[in-house]
Structure 1
Amino acid sequence: MDQFSYLNNANPAYVDELYQKFLENPDSVDADWKDFFKGYDFAGNAGVSSGNGLSDKEVNIIKLIHGYRSRGHLIADTNPVRQRRKHKSDLELGYFGLKESDFETEYESGSEINCGKAKLKTILEHLKKTYCGSIGVEFMYIRNEKLRQWLYREMESCGNSPVFSENEKLDMLQKLGHAVIFENFLQTKYVGKKRFSLEGLEVLIPALDQCIRVSAGLGVKEFVLGMPHRGRLNVLVNIFQKSYENVFSEFEENVVSDFLNTGGDVKYHLGKSADVVTEEGHKVHLNLVPNPSHLEAVSPVLQGIVHGKKQDRYENDSNQILPIVLHGDAAIAGQGINYEVANFSEIDGYNNGGTIHIVLNNQIGFTANYKETRTSVYCTDLAKVTESPVFHVNADDTQAVIHAMRMAVKIRQEFHCDVYIDILGYRKYGHNEGDEPRFTQPLLYKSIAKHSNVYDICLEKLCKDKVITKEQASEYTKEFKANLQS
């Protein structure tokens, strides 16, 4: 149920009557109304006078705000290769008793979303930017008021579009370049060899990099990562610092290397540990758990590892060790083990202080369209079991993905709960590089064939913003490709 459904159906006169009661005695109204009026009074104390009561229009705008907070994700621009599925969002102005002729009128309710007294047009634009852009957020079912208020402030203060420095933008571009060029190199040099590429979701690499760096700055000393086969080779070289030579040698079937002690497992199931120093100077330990082959089976294995280390090495302090689990969209919705792990996650004796879940959502399960793999609106709907926030993000918008990741890390460290980041992208090839996906998904792959990769999209944006020139970027990529060849 919508956390603020009491607003959607409220009569303005009734709301005003309740507000007067609240002013006389805050404890005389229900807890939900009390929380709402507290927020309104907080805005008033910050420099906005709400007068002796709330007008009908002011109440309607508050309802509009809560409508976008609750359902804006249903119309967010999160899908890079398809028109998003149509859902009834009930966000038309008329639904809230408003109309376009109200656009130029200023309302005190703008202070609720950090706009101060503002025109309805400005309020609506800010709501659409915050909740219907490249990030769609589900969080209004969360009963933890402090977490909801934290999310309001974090997202609405910047319209879910924070300002990044030039150095931060160049760092994102570099990480994307490493991921994209590595995949292109493997596709060219080892044609048809199975590697379960990350292409279409290469934004994972700068996202994981940010996860580690931000977490380390908040006290995390160790990261335990569980993931399936897709994208593992890219993560191994670009996050866990496995050498390119080692990876390439695993593709050479006639090469036997003394340093490869794999136990006969395939290269895209191998784990690795590494001690690294972040760019900010924090020393951290990274552990990639070997993949037990069956989808999602790694999740309980990882949670057990984290729980043991938390007790043995970190005096039961979950803020020092962070579990991260990567999922496919079909697997997270389809494998029952995910629901079991979620239901155990906050029980004493199993609680690890929250897990960051990253869904590599390529909108397809083997050959099945996403509509054929689940009934739920989102593949992440199991997040509601633990009342965890979910960020649905467009994989083509690197800055949006980084922003979502930074918020996820801060939430986990402060509120000790699971957080889900659903990155919507695509799978450039078939289930593996030997499959032909056009036989089963011709329309989707017609769209994918025309789609630019995320590096080119990011580069175009940075060139437009005069952060870098294409000539400068070309020099860098040329140098990196030469390094791979050598």
Structure 2
Amino acid sequence: MDKFSYLSNMDVSTVEHLYQSYKSDPKSVAEDWQQFFAGFDFAEQLYDQDDASFGIPANVKKEFDVINLINGYRKNGHLFTDTNPVRARRKYTPTLAIENFDLSQDDLDTTFRAGEMIGIGPSSLKNIIEHLEATYCQSIGVEYRYIREPEVVSWLQEKLEKNRNQPEFSVEEKKQVLRKLSQAVVFEEFLGKKFTGQKRFSLEGAESLIPAMDMAVEEGSNLGIEEFVIGMAHRGRLNVLANILNKTYKEIFSEFEGKDYEDADVEGDVKYHMGYTSYMTCYNGKEVKMNLCPNPSHLEAVGPVVLGISRAKIDRKFEGDNSKLCPILIHG
């Protein structure tokens, strides 16, 4: 039981009367009430003061305010990105305005050591905000603070903030990105003209998937991955088959025109359900095996299918070594 529960059972006016008597003459009330009211006065004096009364300098408090601002960008910056080129971003509140972090326009030119948290050293608030905006609120949104492993969060923050979330590509890597992007665009344009009106689930508008996957495979090979298992829905599957798994154009085009099967009792699936397996030689000279899983008619089964295939290959082919295989799921 709460040792102060007796107070809730007393008449408030009685306690008030005792307190007023204590204020006039402490000895006019019993000793236990003197101790009670002395503690009440002490607490009232202690917690009714502002931060400065506790000896916290204003500049130190401002440093913590800037730290809160930085963490605000890290947690919610993805809500204020410029990721949609055709319409304005939906409005979210509270915003990342500095006033929501007890900062003001007068603080913009003040230098804060909190800039060291994002790798730019002591900097003005203006420069800190500029760095955070470039890192978290441009065309690439990053949502990662839900991750429970602190070491993973720290690793991501360091990678994102050291170069403002901008990729650093060599000249050769830039040429490869352009090459794969061009392949993706030309492929879709050809299909659109050659097979007008046929269902194909185009990748148009998302062709950057192809250079992104190409880069993932190249980097995975550098890390020792020997096999990839890919699961995806219909959208962009033909482009992935052609420009990632190197399925020949002849095979793909023949499926548009109708492919004959030697066994009359076997019916072919639609072209945008087809799976495929091939081998890709990476720039480091290593060969990796590429598997695009056949697409189940029920798309909610794509993930479980990839999981089962990957688990079986890790257990049986790679004897439990999960560093040799990389599953990739592409949202449809």
Is the structural similarity TM-score above 0.5? yes
Alignment-derived partner of residue 183 in structure 1: 188
* Partner residue of 1:302 out of 302, 306, 331: 306
SS, match of residue 204 in structure 2? coil
Counterpart amino acid of 1:196?
Answer: F
Distance 1:63 1:251 in 2: 56
Once the two structures are superposed, what CA deviation does each residue of 1:350-395 show, in whole Å capped at 9, x if it has no partner? xxxxxxxxxxxxxxxxxxxxxxxxxxxxxxxxxxxxxxxxxxxxxx
Distance 1:13 1:162 in 2: 44
Distance 1:97 1:269 in 2: 55
Q: 1:61 to 1:134 in 2, by over 3 A?
A: same
Q: Does 1:152 align with 2:157?
A: yes
Counterpart amino acid of 1:298?
Answer: V
Q: Does 1:80 align with 2:85?
A: yes
Query: Which of structures 1 and 2 has the bigger CA Rg?
Result: 2
Distance 2:189 2:261 in 1: 24
Alignment-derived partner of residue 225 in structure 1: 230
Q: 1:13 to 1:219 in 2, by over 3 A?
A: farther
| Structure with higher RCO (Cα < 8 A, 6+ apart) | 1
Counterpart amino acid of 1:324?
Answer: I
State the percentage of identical aligned residues: 48
* Partner residue of 1:211 out of 194, 213, 216: 216
Correspondences of 1:256-295 after superposition (within 5 Å): 256=260, 263-295=267-299
Deviation at 1:80, TM superposition (A): 2.5
SS, match of residue 206 in structure 2? coil
Distance 2:246 2:58 in 1: 61
Once the two structures are superposed, what CA deviation does each residue of 1:18-74 show, in whole Å capped at 9, x if it has no partner? xxxxxxxxxxxxxxxxxxxxxxxxxxxxxxxxxx99711111111110010011111
Distance 2:291 2:52 in 1: 58
* Contact 1:74/1:89 (<8 A) preserved: no
* Partner residue of 2:327 out of 319, 323, 327: 323
* Contact 1:16/1:54 (<8 A) preserved: no
Deviation at 1:281, TM superposition (A): 1.5
Distance 1:270 1:156 in 2: 41
SS, match of residue 193 in structure 1? coil
Deviation at 1:322, TM superposition (A): 0.8
Correspondences of 1:1-400 after superposition (within 5 Å): 55-253=60-258, 256=260, 263-328=267-332
* Contact 1:219/1:319 (<8 A) preserved: yes
Distance 2:276 2:194 in 1: 24
SS, match of residue 310 in structure 1? helix
Distance 2:163 2:122 in 1: 17
* Contact 1:12/1:55 (<8 A) preserved: no
Deviation at 1:262, TM superposition (A): 7.9
Q: Where does the alignment leave 5 or more consecutive residues of structure 1 unmatched?
A: 1-10, 18-51, 329-486
SS, match of residue 323 in structure 2? helix
Counterpart amino acid of 2:291?
Answer: N
Deviation at 1:77, TM superposition (A): 1.1
* Contact 1:73/1:131 (<8 A) preserved: yes
Distance 1:176 1:73 in 2: 26
Distance 1:291 1:262 in 2: 18
**RMSD in angstroms over aligned alpha carbons?**
2.4
Counterpart amino acid of 1:117?
Answer: P
Distance 2:271 2:239 in 1: 12
Deviation at 1:171, TM superposition (A): 1.3
Aligned length: 282
Deviation at 1:162, TM superposition (A): 3.0
Deviation at 1:263, TM superposition (A): 4.2
Alignment-derived partner of residue 370 in structure 1: none
Distance 2:109 2:58 in 1: 22
Once the two structures are superposed, what CA deviation does each residue of 1:130-164 show, in whole Å capped at 9, x if it has no partner? 11011111111222110011011000000101332
Alignment-derived partner of residue 16 in structure 2: none
Distance 1:16 1:185 in 2: 72
* Contact 1:228/1:296 (<8 A) preserved: no
SS, match of residue 219 in structure 1? coil
Q: Which consecutive segments of 4 or more residues in structure 1 shift more than 6 A?
A: 11-17
SS, match of residue 299 in structure 2? coil
Alignment-derived partner of residue 451 in structure 1: none
* Contact 2:107/2:125 (<8 A) preserved: yes
Counterpart amino acid of 1:190?
Answer: F
Distance 1:262 1:229 in 2: 22
Deviation at 1:272, TM superposition (A): 0.5
SS, match of residue 297 in structure 1? helix
Deviation at 1:116, TM superposition (A): 0.2
Distance 1:250 1:15 in 2: 77
SS, match of residue 284 in structure 1? strand
Q: 1:54 to 1:133 in 2, by over 3 A?
A: same
Counterpart amino acid of 1:154?
Answer: K
Deviation at 1:117, TM superposition (A): 0.8
Distance 2:178 2:300 in 1: 31
Once the two structures are superposed, what CA deviation does each residue of 1:437-479 show, in whole Å capped at 9, x if it has no partner? xxxxxxxxxxxxxxxxxxxxxxxxxxxxxxxxxxxxxxxxxxx
Deviation at 1:321, TM superposition (A): 0.6
Q: 1:235 to 1:172 in 2, by over 3 A?
A: same
Q: 1:162 to 1:288 in 2, by over 3 A?
A: closer
Q: 1:108 to 1:214 in 2, by over 3 A?
A: same
Q: 1:318 to 1:54 in 2, by over 3 A?
A: farther
SS, match of residue 179 in structure 2? helix
Q: Where does the alignment leave 5 or more consecutive residues of structure 2 unmatched?
A: 1-49
